[in-house]
Amino acid sequence: MLIDLSSPGGAALALLPEIVLTGWALVVLLVASWRHRTAADSRYVGILSIVGYVLAVMATGWLAWVGARPEGLPLMVALDGFRYASHTLLLWIGGAVAVLSWRWLERQGIIAPEYYVLLMLATVGMMLLAGAADMITMFLGLELMSIAVYVLTGYDRTRRASAEAGLKYFLIGAFASGFLLYGIALLYGATGHFNLVLIGAQLSATEPTLMAKAGLGLLLVGFAFKVAAVPFHAWAPDVYEGAPTPVTAFMAAGVKAAAFFALARILAEAFPGYVELWRPVLAVLAVVTILVGNLVALAQQSMKRMLAYSAIAHAGYLLIALWAHSDRGTAAVLIYLHAYVITTIAAFGILASIERAGARTVLISDLEGLYAARPFAAMGLSVCMLSLLGFPGTFGFIGKWFLVAAPLAEGELLLPIIAMIGSGISIGYYLPVILAMTLKPVRTRSAHQTIRFPVPAKIAVAICVLAILVLGVWPNAVLDFATQEAVQLRRLAMPILTR
Amino acid sequence: MTAFLAAIGYEQWILHVLLGLPLLAIPMILIMPVHRARWIALTVALIELVLGLGLWWAFDPANPAMQFVTDVPWIGAFGVGYRLGIDGLSVMMVLLSVITMPLVVWSSWRSVDTKQRGFYALLLALKTGMLGVFVAMDLFLFYVFWELLLIPMYFLIGSWGSSNRLYAATKFVIYTFVGSLLMLVAIVWMVMEVGRATGTYSFAYEHLLAHAYLLESSGPWLFVAFALAFAVKVPIFPFHTWLPDAHTEAPTAGSVDLAVILLKMGTYGFLRFAVPFFPGFALSESVGLVMAGLAVIGIVYAALVAMVQPDLKRLVAYSSVSHLGFVILGIWGSTVESVQGAIMVMISHGLSTGALFFIIGMLYERRHTRKISDFGGLARVAPLMATAFVITAFSSIGLPGLNGFVGEFLVLIGAFGRYPWLVAGATTVVVFSAAYLLWATQRVFFNRFTNPLNEGIGDLNMREIAVLAPLLLGMVWIGLYPGPILRRTEGAARMYIEMVEPYLSETPTVGGTMFRGGR
């Protein structure tokens, strides 16, 4: 189906998933403003928000099913498989986080159902960011996402750490947005366009100018902040640790995925002519991020901090896939992000169930003997650790395999070797978690007696863990899908560029 | 027998059944009552043994190519297939695995009394992994099996091992995992390079082997990446430090599986992948000298270290390092004899070291110690055990008439032409190994009976005799009549030599002709 994006009706059709979710979020906000007193109210709103996610997934599915394609240039939003794939993943993250928050918030004494509204609006922001075909839409999405997530981070007002994390994230995030905006302005000055494809055409046709180069540089810095690549990562550990655990999952999975989807699109569509310029930058960022993230993670005692540094390291691996600048590389970004996201959600989901209201953050040593008390939780978390490590038999391994293949196909050897060195270091902090859970004895008799795992959260985590294992052995469907979608991202830009 | 096997379509299903059966039994173990766990494991092991022994007849020694080949697409987007096959090298390893399995289960019959379900489930998972490594003819599949093995072994050591088990388990996993990471890069690089040149992106072993010559320029570092993974597993001299810890802390079943099968995976990797893929670099004069040199250093050094070990298991662990050095020396000796000798050492080391670990495990069950100084004069109270130990020790030393001699003699003779001085150095180990094993035997089973605690040690019971008897029979049989085994491995060895021959700097003749004339 061809959609004319210049007409209001066409634009509305193309934005259907975002519109559905935003509209539903407003309805839920209205409901929440009447019912925000008791734990039951909070649960009720939570269920409503999950309905919203389901509706938005259906809208995305419909767009993909009718095969919506833009008539001429994609204005404002892209209409391609890459967008549908990223939307599905992002909606899935939002829904899963809503499920994980259900009952968890009440247990922590956070009764303010607007939480779910913010979650939905943040998801809308991520979708706009990942699907934007235009710098302005992209910035809009980024800000919508960021502002909602700042609030979510500081949502546990009674805890100092949470408030501190919210403030920190806000300050750094505003800084990063400034970089991005300045970069966008410079690019507009250099090319006269906001549209990614048009910028790409303009930049490929002319000699590189200083203004365009500076714009690219500022864009990369802005995104490096958002994905927490070293040296722009300093905010991540404190913010991840301070935020309510489901929100941490949302940040580690959703924000990172959305930013990578957007970065992949920008680099493929707007800057194919500047490959020689941005490749070395990505390579240096990737190497530093992988090494620093993994080495510092070794020293962590707290689970959330350890996972924060591991998330930094994974951003480094993903940068390598972007570096490849090929269909294989884009496919690797898709696959690796899927693997990483599913694993992260499951890991934080299990972690959230272990946390107690008002208690300090969970240390790795707190997990000792978990297997004896909660064998399934321990096995699930072990599978997550193995998947993050990239162990065969898990989906993480398929991701790692693709990731290594992308730069190797371009004849680059150093980056994959650095990635493997990083992976070798990472066993030093993933294995102790498994060791503590399965092989160490329980410390005190009262340990692990306070674990509360609500049924919906259990189901969400179980689906994730099963997906990790099944896709680790039989990834064909996902791989075929990703390799087809990745080609689309390129094919869309090519005819317009060559014209 | 051969006709019967052909009639039931044996070669079509045997490899899949061997791989799948243990996995299928795991859920059964987990849902059945705890006391059934060992029975299920034993049944599966015996079925595997009966089915697996058919390979001895079904395998055609005259055909040097891969047999029983399966090729089913698995991950099509990436050229990965479920590809299986065996040749003279892997058939021996598969047979060794299926023979060990019931013995291992049987030996754990009484000693494992906690968390039995988990123990036997892990043993079965380990079995699938080990068999998979030897029959995988697809590098992706191989890598998956290779790594997956770590999980059951990690938990076997970490959960059922002795006092320092967590340290040993962690060390084992980290060494092996880190060692094989570069191999992952190397495998993908090979597939990409070969794919770019031929247009076919495939992980199939045969495909990569046929086009490995395209990788001439990147050969050196690719070989290093493979060699590192395999050298850690063998282990070759400077990478061996994980082995004594893992062996010592593991439960008997773990030690035996480690010694009999897992260590052979490293040498198997050299014979199957590392050297045939990159013969130009691997067999060049300098690399050959380094590898053979490290092998001989390992042979002598480990034997010397074994001499001063106060712990029986540690002593045997170091003797493993020493024996595996012969395999490496045989591979780089690069004659049909030395390669056959290497395969022979792999087999006979499995038999004799496996038996030694079994006996030490039996001693440990009775006295809960492995220190040599805690024993003495046991032959008086446990004559059968002493007999078994003495025969095994002789076989491990390499006494003519027992299995250890055949392999090591072939290696020494085959490698002499290429590395006369190194071979001369390696020969000295016969003295050292006699010293550490006989000395240990003397201190444990003979000498004066000083420790009254040893009074209650019973002799071998029927179950223990049943565990040891097949291994002892194997030792004597191979020692007296190695022909049938040599005939089956000869095709693989010849094939291997033909593959690497053009890359050898000079063809050694001294040992080769002498032996060929003698047979």
Domain count, chain B: 2
Contacts of B173 in chain A (CB under 8 A): 427, 431
Residue among A391, A416, A428 minimizing CB distance to B147: A391
CB A423 within 8 A of CB A431: no
In the stretch 459-498 of chain A, residues with CB closer than 8 A to chain B read 475-476, 479-480, 483
What percentage of chain A has pLDDT greater than the value 70? 97
Look up residue A5 and give its two tokens: 């994006």
Q: Between B447 and A188, whose confidence is greater?
A: A188
Confidence of residue B297 (pLDDT cuts 50, 70, 90): very high
Name the β-bridge partners of B311: B371
- Closest-approach residue (CA) in chain A for B178: A424
Give chain A's end-to-end CA distance (angstroms, integer).
Answer: 23
| Residue linked to tokens 């705890």 | B34
In the predicted model, what is the mean pLDDT of residues A407-434?
A: 91
Q: Nearest CA of chain B to the CA of A485: how many Å?
A: 13
The last residue of one of the domains, among B265, B282, B299, is B282
Q: Which pLDDT score, from 0 to 100, does residue A3 have?
A: 84
Q: Is the pLDDT of residue A17 over 50?
A: yes
Q: Residue B345 and residue A397: Cα distance in Å, rounded?
A: 35
Name the β-bridge partners of B73: B81
Whether the CB of A444 is below 8 Å from some CB of chain B: the reply is no
In the predicted model, what is the mean pLDDT of residues B98-125?
A: 88
Confidence of residue A107 (pLDDT cuts 50, 70, 90): confident
Confidence of residue B511 (pLDDT cuts 50, 70, 90): very low
Q: Which pLDDT score, from 0 to 100, does residue B453 have?
A: 80
The number of angstroms, rounded, from the C-alpha of B210 to the middle of its chain's C-alpha atoms is 27
| Residues on chain B bordering chain A, Cβ-to-Cβ distance under 8 angstroms | 75-78, 140, 143-144, 147-148, 151, 155, 158-159, 165-166, 169-170, 173-174, 177-178, 181-182, 184-185, 188-189, 191-192, 196
pLDDT in tens, A293-315: 999 999 999 999 999 999 999 99
In the predicted model, what is the mean pLDDT of residues A206-234?
A: 91
Q: Which pLDDT score, from 0 to 100, does residue B513 have?
A: 42
Do B264 and B348 share a domain, yes or no?
no
Do B267 and B378 share a domain, yes or no?
no
Q: Which pLDDT score, from 0 to 100, does residue B346 have?
A: 92
SS3 state of residue B112: coil
Q: Residue B234 and residue B264: Cα distance in Å, rounded?
A: 7
Q: Is the pLDDT of residue B516 over 50?
A: no
Q: Is the pLDDT of residue B518 over 50?
A: no
Q: B78–A479: do the CB atoms touch at under 8 Å?
A: yes
Do B211 and B317 share a domain, yes or no?
no
In the stretch 358-387 of chain A, residues with CB closer than 8 A to chain B read 386
Confidence of residue A358 (pLDDT cuts 50, 70, 90): low
Q: Give every CB contact of residue B43 below 8 A, 6+ residues apart in sequence.
A: none
Q: Is the pLDDT of residue B228 over 90?
A: yes
Residue among A392, A428, A438 minimizing CB distance to B155: A438
Do B295 and B277 share a domain, yes or no?
no
Q: Which pLDDT score, from 0 to 100, does residue B134 have?
A: 93
Dump the DSSP string for A52-73: HHHHHHHHHHHHHHHT-EESSS
Instruction: Tell me the ipTM for this assembly.
Output: 0.90
User: B interface mutation test: which of A383, A427, A478, A487 has the most B CBs within 10 A?
Assistant: A427
Q: Residue B234 and residue A176: Cα distance in Å, rounded?
A: 51
Q: B188–A416: do the CB atoms touch at under 8 Å?
A: yes
Q: Is the pLDDT of residue B417 over 90?
A: no
Lowest mean pLDDT among A276-285, A437-446, B364-373: A437-446
Contacts of A397 in chain B (CB under 8 A): 144
Task: Please state the domain extents for chain A.
Answer: 2-498
Confidence of residue A492 (pLDDT cuts 50, 70, 90): low
pLDDT in tens, A112-157: 889 999 999 999 999 999 999 889 999 999 999 999 999 999 988 8
Q: Is the pLDDT of residue B416 over 70?
A: yes
Q: Which pLDDT score, from 0 to 100, does residue A495 have?
A: 53
Per-residue DSSP letter, B136: B
Do B273 and B290 share a domain, yes or no?
no
Residue among B148, B158, B192 minimizing CB distance to A393: B148
Q: Which pLDDT score, from 0 to 100, does residue A78 have?
A: 86
Do B314 and B256 share a domain, yes or no?
no
Q: Which pLDDT score, from 0 to 100, does residue B517 have?
A: 36
Do B242 and B355 share a domain, yes or no?
no
Q: Which pLDDT score, from 0 to 100, does residue A269 have?
A: 87
Contacts of B158 in chain A (CB under 8 A): 435, 438-439
Cα-Cα-Cα-Cα dihedral of B360, B361, B363, B366, to 10°? 170
Q: Is the pLDDT of residue A450 over 90?
A: no
Do B197 and B237 share a domain, yes or no?
yes
In the predicted model, what is the mean pLDDT of residues A438-466?
A: 86
Look up residue B467 and give its two tokens: 């565990």
What percentage of chain B has pLDDT greater than the value 90? 48
pLDDT in tens, B40-78: 999 999 999 999 888 888 888 888 888 888 888 888 878
The last residue of one of the domains, among B247, B266, B282, is B282
Q: A421–B189: do the CB atoms touch at under 8 Å?
A: no
Q: Which amino acid is it at B78?
A: F
Per-residue DSSP letter, B501: G
Q: Residue B48 and residue B96: Cα distance in Å, rounded?
A: 12
Half-sphere exposure of A15 (CA within 13 A, CB side): 24
By C-alpha distance, which of A181, A258, A162, A265 is closest to A221?
A: A181
Q: B177–A476: do the CB atoms touch at under 8 Å?
A: no
Q: Residue A43 and residue B64: Cα distance in Å, rounded?
A: 69
Per-residue DSSP letter, B446: S
pLDDT in tens, A151-185: 999 988 888 888 999 999 999 999 899 999 999 99
Name the β-bridge partners of B136: B84
Q: Nearest CA of chain B to the CA of A391: how many Å?
A: 7
Q: Which pLDDT score, from 0 to 100, does residue A297 have?
A: 93
Dump the DSSP string for A23-63: HHHHHHHHHHHHS-SSHHHHHHHHHHHHHHHHHHHHHHHHH
Range of the domain at B50: 1-282
The last residue of one of the domains, among B252, B282, B312, is B282
Contacts of B155 in chain A (CB under 8 A): 438-439
CB B134 within 8 A of CB B92: no
Contacts of B119 in chain A (CB under 8 A): none
In the predicted model, what is the mean pLDDT of residues A78-91?
A: 89
Do B366 and B238 share a domain, yes or no?
no
Do B46 and B74 share a domain, yes or no?
yes
Q: Average pLDDT over chain A, rounded to whole?
A: 89
Q: Which pLDDT score, from 0 to 100, does residue B519 have?
A: 36
CB A90 within 8 A of CB A127: yes
Q: A393–B144: do the CB atoms touch at under 8 Å?
A: yes
Q: B75–A476: do the CB atoms touch at under 8 Å?
A: yes
Confidence of residue B509 (pLDDT cuts 50, 70, 90): very low
Name the β-bridge partners of A3: A70
Do B275 and B336 share a domain, yes or no?
no
Q: A421–B77: do the CB atoms touch at under 8 Å?
A: no
User: A interface mutation test: which of B159, B177, B196 has the most A CBs within 10 A?
Assistant: B177
In the predicted model, what is the mean pLDDT of residues B304-333?
A: 92
**Strand spans (E) along B462-516:** none
User: A interface mutation test: which of B30, B128, B192 has the most A CBs within 10 A?
Assistant: B192
Q: B144–A438: do the CB atoms touch at under 8 Å?
A: no
Contacts of B165 in chain A (CB under 8 A): 439
CB A26 within 8 A of CB A103: no
Q: Is the pLDDT of residue B512 over 50?
A: no
Q: Which pLDDT score, from 0 to 100, does residue B265 have?
A: 93
Cα-Cα-Cα-Cα dihedral of A253, A259, A260, A263, to 10°? 180
Whether the CB of A401 is below 8 Å from some CB of chain B: the reply is yes
The continuous run of DSSP H or E covering A86 comes out as helix A81-101
Do B60 and B179 share a domain, yes or no?
yes
